[in-house]
Amino acid sequence: MSTKSILNETSIAFLESYLNNASPTGYESEGQKLWMNYLQPYVDTFITDTYGTAVGVINPDAPFKVVIEGHADEISWYVNYITDDGLLYVIRNGGSDHQIAPSKRVNIHTKNGIVKGVFGWPAIHTRLRDKEEVPKLSNIFIDLGCETKEQVEAMGVHVGCVITYPDEFMILNENKFVCRAIDNRMGGFMIAEVARLLHENKKTLPFGLYIVNSVQEEIGLRGAEMIAHTIKPNVAIVTDVCHDTNTPMIDKKVEGDLKMGKGPVIAYSPAIQNKLRDLIVDTAEENKIPFQRHATSRATGTDTDAFAYSNGGVASALISLPLRYMHTTVEMVHRDDVENVIQLIYESLLKIENNQTFSYFK
């Protein structure tokens, strides 16, 4: 299968609408509806749970269960405090970056719809020349153009309202996808494309395939933790993003040497089941899919950990997408890597056998 043929115009149109839609942690349901609508022609049924994880299932009656997984949520902010003169102070919902906040426009999600605001910041002329204050959680604030707390509340804004950035999808220099929330709605997109390819290529799997779009990854892998107990899978292949370490100010001795455009990243970690990882590496080599390796120490920091350590242990592996500028509004990935992750997951599924144990003792 040529990587050039994987994404089509319909795929890209879905990706754009899916990325542009806000799905902050804890509020993923509208994005999940878009995702399920796209996936619906390619699966037999859906599972959803109390907190909003969505699962498309192929062969739901099969006893052997394989998961492919991404997460649906994006980092955001919560309104934490409203001053008497109508300014908002915030706390994180996930790993939101305080340093990128000043001068950013924001969407505040209320029962009455979106309220617009901006992260204000003192003008350069007014800041102390000898020791400038840097942005930090205690000094960044949002201005809605209101003069009093009462005006803010009259707009439907209250403590606990969630805040996202409005930045939207663009393609840079023909083959770089740029948007907020590529971490990790691109994962949800890629697993949906795997399902589409299985359907279009009329592939029949000997096991049940669970295409899982988990919620609440950004605050501790919580959605994966919940759905792993619901599905009780035998195997899980997770896809998330990892750092492109070839931009300035990143130490490769600490973060490893990974580069956007050089292929999917296969993880090495105690949570990764070695035989499943070897199957994925063999698949990449046999299909001439370029790939990179990444050692993640004691934890991967992704939903892989939640699946691996559930249900007495689930054979799990992680295929990552190299990303520049994680947790900013200009996250960037290479189209070739996106297509190669899709192909690698697709081909790996075709290589997994029904009832395969991955036991180290056989």
327 marked as part of a ligand binding site: yes
Cα gap 157→19, rounded to integer Å: 25
Give the Cβ contact number of residue 38 at 10 Å.
23
Cα gap 356→284, rounded to integer Å: 19
pTM of the predicted model as reported, rounded to 2 decimal places? 0.97
Mean pLDDT, residues 50-70 taken together = 98
pLDDT at 130: 78
Mean pLDDT, residues 66-83 taken together = 98
Cα gap 341→238, rounded to integer Å: 11
pLDDT band with cut points at 50, 70 and 90 for residue 132: confident
pLDDT at 107: 98
DSSP secondary structure of 164-180: E-----EEETTTEEEET
Q: Which residues are catalytic?
A: 217
Q: Which residue type sits at 234?
A: N
Is 2 a residue whose pLDDT tops 70?
Answer: no
Cα gap 3→335, rounded to integer Å: 10
pLDDT at 297: 87
pLDDT at 1: 47
Cα gap 276→120, rounded to integer Å: 49
Check: CB of residue 208 under 8 Å from CB of residue 56.
no
pLDDT at 362: 85
Task: Walk me through the domains of the chain, giving residue ranges and CATH numbers.
Answer: 9-74+180-351 (3.40.630.10), 76-164 (2.40.30.40)
pLDDT at 4: 55
218 marked as part of a ligand binding site: yes
Over residues 86-112, the pLDDT tens digits come to: 999 999 999 999 999 999 999 999 999
Over residues 201-231, the pLDDT tens digits come to: 999 999 999 999 999 999 999 999 999 999 9
183 marked as part of a ligand binding site: yes
pLDDT at 131: 82
Task: Name the average pLDDT for the chain.
Answer: 97
State what percent of residues in the chain have pLDDT above 90: 95
Mean pLDDT, residues 63-67 taken together = 98
pLDDT at 129: 73
SS3 state of residue 91: strand
Q: Which residue type sits at 142?
A: I
Is 3 a residue whose pLDDT tops 90?
Answer: no
Over residues 270-300, the pLDDT tens digits come to: 999 999 999 999 999 999 999 999 999 899 9
